[in-house]
Chains A and B, each alone.
Chain A
Amino acid sequence: MAMATTFQPFLTRNFGEPLALDVRWCLERGAYEGARKALAMPPKAVIEEVKLSGLRGRGGAGFPCGMKWSFVPQDTGKPVYVVCNADESEPGTFKDRALIDRDPHQLLAGIIIACWAVQAHTAFIYIRGEMVHGHAVLEKAVADAERAGVLGDTVLGAAFPLRVLLMRGAGAYICGEETGLLTSLEGNRGYPRLKPPFPAVVGAFGCPTVVNNVETLGNLPHIMVNGARWHASMGTEKSPGAKVFSLSGHVKRPGNYEVPLGTPLMDLLDGPGGGVGGTGRLKAVIPGGSSAPILTAEDCKTAKLDYESIAQHGSMLGSGAVIVLDDSVCMVDAIWNLMRFYHHESGGQCTPCREGTGWVEKTVARIEHGRGRMRDLDVLLETCDNMQGKTICVLADAAAMPLRSYLKKFRAEFEAHITQGKCPFG
């Protein structure tokens, strides 16, 4: 943990600074220096630098950013688009909302770098419809940037026309899935599309498109200023850099905390988080948003906040949303809540998901209400089998993965509901 003591937060450094909304202040403070530096380099060199930094996508999948960019063909004769995914909807996650509200110019600087790297002259920011304030902040930031010569016909003095267009969602989780987002951006119901073709080749409006998360883009200016080596020196070999973790639930000080990847989970919880709240006794942690399989208190002792350690513990780092559950929580009630979420948010396009999420929600509700049967537990697992890997997008998997993990790690609680004919937690 020598690193954590010397670690200087960079993504969140302006969080207490209201002037970060002022483009002049940002320009004076060098917020656009990374973009300026990138614009002076050949686009391919920018892609190489980001590859070298090891930056992985911060939206949930953790795909290497530079590699994603390198899939974009430059010889199609079609425009290339960059789309910033600001449809933050994974339960437990609230970092992108903060990154937008408190430091919009960091995001715009990242967008300029991504656009230059893949030679896109139009970028979209697709923001959740609920985030009315964030949308207003971005509208102002884009307008200010255009007036200041940061965006527009020339970008920071470079002959590289770039416009940033905003799009507002309207309350559909599925639009956070990158192909669902693109379908929505085109003015449709947010139905995901089959991959391949991947968006890098056939994305928005049939054109090559890069979809990057808000936090991923926010990292870019810092990587360009400080260099790939600086970024790679933080975190672990396979999970370089730092990440903003959204800490919520039964924790004394919930909030967004930026720490180097590889930080022990309990250090986040006990350090900035101030320790377990509620009853003060830890039962379980969801480490990466509600789709992530659950970790028991025992798992948490050894889990570290990086992609490989969380995977070794049978879960995923996902969006970095850490939800803490104390020992008063009924795990059947908790998973019922999440299955209701996935049922509600299923796009309805694929039968295994549309029907499967409904079945598992009803079955879990029945168990929670004390009317379950022992064979319901097998029915749940069979339903998971029939959902996972059988749909266009991974929403069905995102529902089945946590359900399986609760059934595996907290099976005794499900059985107690059934044998007692009621919820033991009252």
Chain B
Amino acid sequence: MPFELSERSRAEIESLIARYPTKKSCLLLALRVVERQQGWVSLDGMALVAAMLGLSPAEVYGVVTFYPHYKREVHGKYRLMVCGTLTCALLGMKRLVRHIEERLGVACGGARTADGLFSLEKVECIAACGGAPAIQINDQYHENVTPQKLDDLIAACRREHAAGGGPPMPPGPVRDEPARVAHFLPALGLGRVAPVGV
């Protein structure tokens, strides 16, 4: 079933449109609305936002893929973002990455775990150098992280998931994403959106 914006999400995007100077300037925040409702930003979600803001889906896709922080289909339910920049690198980042790779059986920057629960990536400086090494798991910062603390964090994620909590689980990579990007507009019946000038 294709993704639909909830009433609440629609109302929130409408309220952005009412408050911000241009429709387009709502784009980054509207994508966050989709991310919150869906748990990630899907191609369908991009097309719906594009339609609401009078943009072409291709333009929205271009924006989403410029900014690495949006959660996408490929990420795990729990997205482990290890800071890889200098201070964290000096203070044990590599050890943390190896530890997670071994513990979860995933490659850093590679595919998520088979159960979809975890993905691991190195990110650039997250402004937590005073508590290096640092990691962000979904929205939450964790500082002065040790392998022991990581085990606890991973266990807490598993417990939350087992209890039915946490964000929705992304579905995994979109197999034909490039082809869908070219065609997902008509497929959704949104082909009437006019192209936007520079």
Contact = CB atoms under 8 A, between A and B. Distances in A.
Judged by DSSP, the binding face of A is mixed
Interface residues of B, number: 42
Given A96-B127, A205-B22, A249 B66 contact: no
Given A91-B129, A94-B128, A248 B25 contact: no
Q: Quick one: which of A172, A173, A249, A321 has the most chain B CB within 10 A?
A: A249
A255 interface: yes
A132 B139 contact: yes
Interface stretch (A10-18, A44-52, A306-314, A338-346): A338-346
Nearest to A290: B86
A186 B25 CA distance: 4
B15 to A, nearest CB: 12
B8 interface: no
Given A165-B20, A187-B22, A323-B86, A171 B123 contact: yes
A58 interface: no
B32 interface: yes
Given A173-B124, A337-B86, A94 B28 contact: no
A250 interface: yes
Given A122-B21, A169-B28, A190 B87 contact: no
A169 B29 CA distance: 9
A344 B86 contact: no
Interface in A105-123: 122
A187 B130 contact: no
Contact of B129 (A92, A170, A172): A92
B27 interface: yes
B19 interface: yes
A151 to B, nearest CB: 13
A186 B124 CA distance: 24
Contacts of B125: 89-93, 173, 290, 341
Contacts of A97: 127-128
B69 interface: yes
Nearest to A329: B90
A167 to B, nearest CB: 7
B63 interface: yes
B158 interface: no
Contacts of B128: 94, 97
B124 A344 contact: yes
Contact of A323 (B27, B31, B87, B131): B87
B3 interface: no
A345 B125 CA distance: 11
Contacts of B169: none
B69 A129 contact: yes
Contacts of A122: 21
A336 to B, nearest CB: 10
Nearest to A342: B124
B80 interface: no
Contact of B130 (A94, A188, A286, A290): A94
B129 A94 contact: yes
B194 to A, nearest CB: 17
Given A92-B125, A172-B68, A250-B90, A187 B141 contact: no
Interface in B42-98: 53, 55, 62-63, 66-70, 84-87, 89-91
Interface string A76-99: 000000000000111111101100
B136 interface: yes
Given A168-B32, A170-B69, A187-B26, A255 B85 contact: no
A426 to B, nearest CB: 13
8 closest A-B pairs (Cβ-Cβ)? A171-B69, A170-B67, A248-B129, A187-B24, A187-B27, A189-B66, A132-B139, A170-B69
11 contacts: A91-B125, A93-B129, A94-B128, A130-B123, A185-B25, A187-B25, A187-B63, A188-B24, A205-B25, A248-B132, A334-B90
Interface of B: 19-22, 24-29, 31-32, 53, 55, 62-63, 66-70, 84-87, 89-91, 123-132, 136, 139-141
